[in-house]
Chain A
Amino acid sequence: MTDGNGNDTILLAHGGGGELSDRLVREEILSRFPSRELARLADSAVIDFPGSRLALTTDGYVVRPLFFRGGDIGRLCVAGTVNDLLMSGATPLALSLGVIVRDGFPMGDFRRILDSVAATAAEAGVQIVTGDTKTVGHNAADGIFLTTAGVGVVPEGRRLDYAAAQPGDAVLVSGTLGDHGIAIMSERQQLGFTSAIASDAAPLVEPVAALLAAAPATRCLKDPTRGGLAAALNEIARASGCSIILEESQVPVREAVAGACDLLGLDVLNVANEGKCVAIVPPDQAEAALAALRSTRYGREAARVGRVEAGKPLVVGVNDLGGRRLIEMPYGEQLPRIC
């Protein structure tokens, strides 16, 4: 990456899930690996295979702190991988687990993380079927990193694709936004605030199954992780060539999350989630989809938040005054601001 001044290094913001991440993937990754499946940039790749369609995904987990209210790096890695499979319409089957841990890492924390991996895998109904452990020297890594791969099977006839969103479709979210990002920030001491907000990290097996049963014509699913809902909707808008209109007053946000966003100068639409999904659903199935989501444990606060319209591939927020704003792809990692 260069900024026009010949400055060529990886920045933390390249991993932030926003505009910089997107450019890194498009300019440096896609250009080197010619694959139509990769170029879809979906949460999982779907590979046609005689007799079945296989979904494959991979992810790395570097969250700090390792333990936070509502979860830990172990729960996050299973939930994140399972959710990536689910977003492609796959039924998750099995996960791999890679561990990179540094010399001197407390064995108690190591066990606690693995126990959490096991518990979350059991909750999601998947097994960890292969793995790898590497140890590195004290200065080569900060604590522990996890990597996963996940495989699943996409049922016959199901095709979820961001490009399938059409004018008239409804936009649903499966619950409150911003919980994970704010939970993590409130644990970082130098920000000087604490919060009872817990991360939403969770495998979405149950709500996604309910949703797809109730709304079989669902166009696509996306988990609004890094970059938040703003990044997720911008990706769908770009892939489908349609505008997405977001009714901002309909977006479910907890009071304390809204307060923390005001305090830190963040837009909740850019804050990460780890147990939520966005669904684009044809209008005649939207109510059934919403009811199905709300009948599940992790979908109780689901809401219909917008619609797809013909137009430029943009996301436009409309508030209850009728005021409109462009909701941009976030640039990179969210930083607290004072102005």
Chain B
Amino acid sequence: MTARSCHDLCRRIARRIEALPDRPVRLMEVCGTHTVAIHRAGLRGLLPPRLRLVSGPGCPVCVTPQTYVDALIELAGRPGVRVATYGDMIRVPGRSTTLERAMARGARVSVVYSIMEALSLARQAPAEQVVFAGVGFETTAPATAVGLKLAADERLANFTVLSAHKLIIPAMTALLESGDLAIDGFLCPGHVSVIIGADAYKPLAARFARPCVVAGFEAEEILRAIDLLVAQLADGRAEVENAYARVVTADGNRRAWALIEETFEPADTPWRGLGTIPGSGLAIRAELAHLDAARRFGLEITAREDDHGCRCGEVIRGAIEPPECPLFARTCTPANPVGPCMVSREGNCQACYKYSRAL
């Protein structure tokens, strides 16, 4: 990354924006890791004020429904059950508490970096039921798929997965189909695209006439992708471009997809703050039902949420700004978040909450 090329990119983006009709240009970074990278590099302050970067639904932890968190907490409190989870889930609030607070009361929770460690926990403690919290988008689902296949091959009797895996294309489609999406283009997730391939966005770009550019995570890579998006808007184009070609191919990783398809099938799935989105989740296939924690423990993850009045859906769609939500800074705060935009440290609402107080 060089400062000079970044400044050149920022200047060129500014020139392109000036030449566009005088209204806000809204680009959605679909991916939560992009949100973090944009925040860390302070990119918003380097770009023209008329260019708005809106954080999308791509933080798998933030969009995990409260009922799912509640189910993990309930499982971890059952005698002889241990929940193994990525560290990301530990502080995500369910309806009344978090896994972290439940641990303080004796719930058995292990933080792991990989599903392989969850399998090791199960092998080491045959008397304990280990439930792995399967969260994440297409990037992470292949790891869970491998874990399920290993558990099946080894006939591990004390290992299950509670799947909350999600798919990004159905979520983007649902946002676009809602009709009131004030987003001019998409900065597409780099590492999801490693698995699904850049071509996966083509139907969206064509059907909804929105430019899509796959981006890497360095400041310069993000700026380059924004520049490509703004150039498309100037030209009136709506195409898919790949600005992360050193990592992302047109087709994606077919082997990873095959593993996902062997172990999972698409399912209608609830998203925190967004409701149930058709075909947007991955449920464990019937052949592997014995490895499905929802079936083994009789759990149902429903869309019903105690999020009366939460307007995260509209915030994500760019239809309203966070302070326009009646819960914002009143019942919904970073310490007690209601919707996904307040759960994430860099989410639209939490960022707005902190900056309005701090700066």
| Residue contact B100 to A12, C-beta cutoff 8 Å | yes
Q: Give the chain B neighbours of A190 by CB distance below 8 A.
A: 110-113, 117, 120
How near does chain A come to B194, taking the closest CB pair, in angstroms? 14
Chain A residues within 8 Å of B336, by CB: 3-5
Does A312 sit at the interface, judged by CB under 8 A?
Answer: yes
Most buried by B among A4, A190, A323, A337: A323
Q: How many residues of A contact B (CB 8 A)?
A: 35
Given contacts A192-B117, A335-B87, whether A11 and B32 have CB atoms under 8 Å apart is: no
Cβ of A48 < 8 Å from any Cβ of B? no
Q: Which single member of A7, A314, A317, A326 contacts B101 (CB below 8 Å)?
A: A7
- A137 at interface, CB cutoff 8 A: no
| Closest residue of B by beta carbon distance from A6 | B96
Q: Interface-forming stretch among B33-41, B152-160, B261-269, B280-288?
A: B33-41
How many Å lie between the Cα of A312 and that of B359 in the bound state? 8
Question: Is there a chain A Cβ closer than 8 Å to B104's Cβ?
Answer: yes
Separation of A188 and B41 alpha carbons in the complex (Å): 30
For chain B, the bracket of interface size reads: 35 or more
Give, as a whole number of angstroms, the nearest-CB distance from B86 to chain A: 5
Stretch with Cβ within 8 A of A (4 or more), from B16-24, B42-50, B174-182, B290-298? B42-50
- Known A-B contacts A9-B105, A339-B32; the reply to A322 vs B113 at CB < 8 A is no
Residue numbers in B under 8 Å from A319 (CB-CB) = 41-42, 219
How far is it, in angstroms, between the C-alpha of A231 and the C-alpha of B20 when the chains are bound? 43
Residues of B within 8 A of A (CB): 3, 6-7, 32-33, 39-43, 45-46, 59-61, 86-88, 90-91, 96-97, 100-101, 103-105, 110-114, 116-117, 120, 136, 140, 219, 335-336, 345, 354-355, 358-359
Q: Tell me which residues across on chain B come within 8 A of A312, comparing CB atoms.
A: 358-359
**B97 / chain A contacts, CB cutoff of 8 Å:** 3, 5, 7
A73 to B65 alpha-carbon distance, docked (Å): 41
Complexed CA–CA distance, A190 and B82 (Å): 15
A112 within 8 A of B: no
Ordered by A's residue number, 18 sampled pairs between the chains whose C-beta atoms are within 8 Å are: A4-B335, A7-B101, A9-B104, A12-B100, A190-B111, A190-B117, A312-B359, A314-B358, A317-B42, A321-B3, A321-B46, A322-B7, A323-B43, A324-B42, A336-B87, A336-B113, A338-B88, A339-B88
User: Do B45 and A324 touch across chains, with their CB atoms under 8 A apart?
Assistant: yes
Report whether B104 and A12 are in contact in the complex, using a CB–CB cutoff of 8 Å: yes
Please indicate the chain A residues that have their CB under 8 angstroms from the CB of B45 in the complex. 323-324
How far, in whole Å, are A312 and B354 apart by their CA atoms in the complex?
14
A301 lies within 8 A of chain B by Cβ:
no
What A residues does B46 contact at CB under 8 A?
A: 321-323
